[in-house]
Amino acid sequence: MIIVIKPGNEAMVHEISQRFANKADVFTHGNRVAIQGADRDCLSAEELAATQEIIENHPAAIQGSRVFHPEDTVIETAHSLIGGDNFTMMAGPCSVESLAHVRKMAAVAKQGGATVLRGGAFKPRTSPYSFQGLGEPGLKFLRQAADEFGMDVLTEVMDEDHVEMVGKYTDIFQIGARNMQNFSLLKAVGKTNIPVMLKRGMSATVDDILNAAEYIAAGGNEQIMIAERGIRTFDNKYTRNTLDVGSVPVLQKLSHYPVIVDPSHAAGHTEFVTREALAGVAIGASGLVVEIHDDPAHAFSDGAQALKPDEFQAMADKAFAIRSLVKPNQKAEVNA
């Protein structure tokens, strides 16, 4: 249940949570206390007297839900505010290829308004014989490029054992779609204080995503954002996946986490990336994460879906313009 404490009784939030701490999963948020598996009968007369409302019908993913945490989560990193009325552009190459290349891409990303530089150093490839990423050296290149341009780093961690090491370089962990229900990995990033972008699994329902996010929150890390990157449906002849734009307002209604759209993996082909990106902005996503490359034909991975610098710039301009129509109260981003 979720207990909403009456104004003026805030001390009771602490008291109740202490009383149940060893018996159940207990979480607090403002004047709310969530106690897993308990019900009204567990409360004393004094506790009930201090209670404004008891919500017994709540989602399993309680910490992620609006009933527990009504206001938007806004994640603050060195160079970005993510969520709420903010709009955040994230861009970079699919794989980190070299220091020179990732610096070049960082310049392009920054020019287009991005405050987050994405890039993969550990790559989850369908085949074990495909390029698996540069590893830690790639992370160093990425960090250096981001620092030079005053940007945050977003990069994938695939492995519980790498969480500490990757955490030294990144501002935001990415959990890839294939690992969305790798619960050991979710628990591991849940124990850090680094923000996490959780990508939706190919056939994950909205409830599945929110339960996966809850594994991170259960560990104490509430700085979570969700990325819609296309789902698997019956038709993938012309696009790589099916961008489920409709999931964006659904996720925003049910949860307080920022929702980011990844048009690159959804479309899978450059010619459709910009248009899917704009659809994501128009439906109200809190940001975009986009793959860019100056020479897609020779990209180490996923070149077919990378926007060239000029294409990215044109897309970004339209994206910001549409955003200002859709959310006219958008705050300026932090660009330290």
Which residues in 94-123 contact a copy of itself (CB under 8 A)? none
**Pairing verdict, β 114-118 and 51-55:** unpaired
Query: Minimum distance from CB of 212 to a copy of itself (Å)?
Result: 8
Residues 222-281 interacting with a copy of itself (rule: CB under 8 A): 230-239, 242-250, 253-254, 266-267, 271-272, 275-276, 278-281
Of 4, 26, 282, 334, which lies in the binding site for a copy of itself, with binding defined by CB under 8 A?
Answer: 282
- Our finding on whether 72 is near a copy of itself (CB under 8 A) is no
Query: Minimum distance from CB of 268 to a copy of itself (Å)?
Result: 9
Number of residues engaging a copy of itself in binding (CB under 8 A)? 73
Residues 123-142 interacting with a copy of itself (rule: CB under 8 A): 124-129
Of 207, 220, 295, 310, which lies in the binding site for a copy of itself, with binding defined by CB under 8 A?
Answer: 207
Residues 6+ apart with CB under 8 A from 169: 139, 140, 142, 143, 153, 155
Q: Which part of the chain contacts a copy of itself (CB under 8 A), choosing from 104-112, 136-144, 157-165, 295-303?
A: 157-165
The candidate with the shortest Cα–Cα distance to 111, out of 327, 233, 292, is 292
Q: How far apart are CA 221 and CA 83, in angstroms?
A: 16
- Our finding on whether 304 is near a copy of itself (CB under 8 A) is no
For residue 216, what are its two tokens? 């991170």
Of 206, 259, 290, 315, which lies in the binding site for a copy of itself, with binding defined by CB under 8 A?
Answer: 206
- Our finding on whether 326 is near a copy of itself (CB under 8 A) is yes
Q: How far is CA 255 from the centre of its chain?
A: 12
What residue has token string 């300026």?
332
What residue has token string 């459709």?
272
Q: How far apart are CA 213 and CA 222, in angstroms?
A: 9
Q: How far apart are CA 208 and CA 199, in angstroms?
A: 11
- Our finding on whether 26 is near a copy of itself (CB under 8 A) is no
